[in-house]
Structure 1
């Protein structure tokens, strides 16, 4: 075992294996191979043109699902290094966690879930697992990426009991109320750190969030004041970046410290003991409350802002109408997807739509409807405009 890896960390040499046995690599660990497979897959490349908060065409500097995933991976690796976890595993989980996300962010997911209600609904977390288990077609011997159990376990952050029963070994922990690896727990919290902080940045850049409104939040206000005290006269983008940098640093430091304390209190000495314990990766109560306050602010002031909501309502309609048209006439689909509809029904339509980028979904809707969404009069482009960098 790697001397730098803690006893409670996941060990690639002791992985619970892949769905399809493969010879080991002479140059890479099993988790390194997983990370590399994710980076090279088509679903990962498509994240570049999928919405985080702002639709892709609204500005070149807003986050996309791809840049979000990279930021999550960076934070997760920093935390895992301090906790002596397996950095390759935590990076693989972070890079793969949004592979199943629809175009148009949560609006697209909600629309597709509504369309799929009679057939089991749609959830992007489960869809990410479908992508790596079935939908990617890169290898001659199997469908999917054939990732290790530990990577797949980390991708599946939550799951209903009904779905867990269908997933076999991977679903057992949800039924037994056990935890995933610490690498998976850290990746999940790194996701929260990344999106809370970069959504502040994007919200300010868009002009939809005001700097003075953020001062009422304990986490932001404290660090903005500290940044200005350390650098008198600092303002504009430099002040925003310095404040967010300090916020991320405190969140990461708090996460490392509290997680170390919980590991010690639990006496966890193996990954099995981690799985049997309560959640070990966590923030302190104080930081958890301040992070929740920030999340509530973003929900009401940014995600539910009338300009964002207006764009997302139109995006939701695009997804719903595409689903209805494909279901009424599968002949509108490419041949391979038409064949999958014949084999597995509506789930194949959901797979096809979920795999679309924002701009492909808009282009496909324009082709089938005759509506030119690139015309500002059609409304899809009427969202926030990016301020100058």
Structure 2
């Protein structure tokens, strides 16, 4: 049974371009399916999280990360009586706008795009689902519901101040009420993202040899998890021991979010989704003690993983690739694929052309960006 503050399919604000209701699927099941079948979603398979995609088959990619986020989001949403389909939809779309090479690629493109309106992966995700997916006869994009677009735009919280052009364009066509909180379902997707990457970055960092179990055991939560495993399964082989400990860390995060949300919902008694959007801050979040512990974990990961010497070397290499490709396409749009020429030829000025080049480069997978850099830059 859904909670009164959950988003209800029959109360959806609909789509930018009206469509007949599906016989078998709710609006958000339909949104979810369109995202899964999109070209941008398939490309996540070959986009990196921390390591470049070709560095190893065992490391997470954007696609495996996204699937993990969606699973966590459904679990939390179900426990709270929220709409699981909407939470899953936002989770599946939340990283569609990421360029090749993860946050390194985003940092590089943000600098390159400074003269042309900037770059933000959340805004780019909106641009993808409203404009760049060009498969349907009646509209560009996926024609998602208002609630799905709202969730993609502001699952990390209200947006104030100057807007990235990609977000401003969408918001000008359909007001997403950016000054308010997102639905509880979108907030769940945001927290699920934190849970998933905190968990799998520990796995990937250990597998890459960037730190050891003994170093992790000095951190809050993690040390206790290893101690519990050792007490219950003395002498367990290393890989199983690692998995057992980290799954406990995973469980601590999920259970904390659910407990905090249940307590806050009980205290605040929201009567509908409008009450959720009007609240002073998010309803879905970690407890303060756990949040502080996770800050210590993130600090550890930043030092030992995200800025590890081997990762820094790779960051420099892929940044040089993007710093070479972007101005090359901008100076000579003829080097873009044939099906992009019509958009480049229609550009009214350098800013429009730069945004078209960005759409192309940001859509690249890691391996394709590397191939193009080798082909065009040597």
For the aligned pair, the TM-score class normalised by the smaller chain equals over 0.9
* Structure 2 contact 150–176 (Cα < 8 Å) conserved: no
State the partner residue of 2:310. Answer: 307
- Which residue of 91, 113, 130 corresponds with 1:94? 91
Aligned to 2:247: 245
> Which residue of 1 is the match for residue 372 of structure 2?
364
Which residue number in structure 2 is paired with residue 147 of structure 1? 144
Alignment of 1:351 onto 2:375: no
Give the equivalent residue in structure 2 for 1:173. Answer: 177
CA contact (8 A) 1:129 1:152 kept: yes
The yes-or-no answer on 1:137 pairing with 2:134 is yes
Q: Of residues 332, 335, 340 in structure 2, which corresponds to 1:337?
A: 340
After superposition, the Cα gap between the structure-2 partners of 1:182 and 1:23, relative to the gap in structure 1 and judged at 3 Å, is same
Alignment of 1:317-328 (within 5 A): 317-328=320-331
Question: Normalising by the residue count of structure 2, what TM-score does the alignment of the two structures yield?
Answer: 0.94
Alpha-carbon distance, 1:335 to partner: 2.3
Aligned-pair CA distance for 1:227: 1.1
Note if 1:225 corresponds to 2:227.
Answer: yes
The answer (yes or no) to whether the contact 1:266–1:277 under 8 Å persists in 2 is no
How many pairs does the alignment contain?
Answer: 365
Counterparts in 2 of 1:244-263, with a 5 A limit?
A: 244-263=246-265
Contact preservation (8 Å) 2:149, 2:176: no
Counterpart-to-counterpart distance in 2, 1:215 and 1:325: 48
Secondary structure in 2 matching 1:156: helix
Counterpart Cα distance in 1 of 2:173 and 2:355: 23
- Is structure 2 residue 275 aligned with structure 1 residue 273? yes
What's the counterpart of residue 79 of structure 2? 82
Unpaired runs of at least 5, structure 1: 371-389
Q: Is the 8 A contact 1:153 1:170 kept in 2?
A: no
Quote the residue 1:184 is aligned against: 186
Match of 1:62 in 2: 59
- Cα distance in 2 for partners of 1:171, 1:149 equals 9
The answer to whether structure 1 residue 24 and structure 2 residue 21 are counterparts is: yes
Question: How far does residue 170 in structure 1 lie from its aligned partner after superposition?
Answer: 5.9
Cα contact 1:326–1:333 (8 A) shared by 2: yes
> Equivalent residue for 1:50?
47
Q: CA RMSD in A?
A: 1.3
Q: Deviations over 1:260-297 (max 9, x none)?
A: 11112111010001101131001111111111111111
SS at match of 2:286: coil
Gaps of 5+ in 2: none
What's the CA shift for 1:12?
A: 1.2
Q: Give the corresponding residue for 2:161.
A: 161
Query: 2:329 is paired with a residue of what secondary structure?
Result: helix
Bigger Cα displacement from structure 2, 155-164 vs 80-89? 155-164
Quote the Cα distance in structure 2 between the aligned partners of 1:308 and 1:275.
Answer: 39
For 1:171 and 1:214, how far apart are their aligned partners in 2?
45
C-alpha displacement of 1:341:
2.5
Q: Which residue of 1 aligns with 2:206?
A: 204
Q: CA deviation at 1:211?
A: 1.4
What SS class does the counterpart of residue 103 from structure 1 fall into? coil
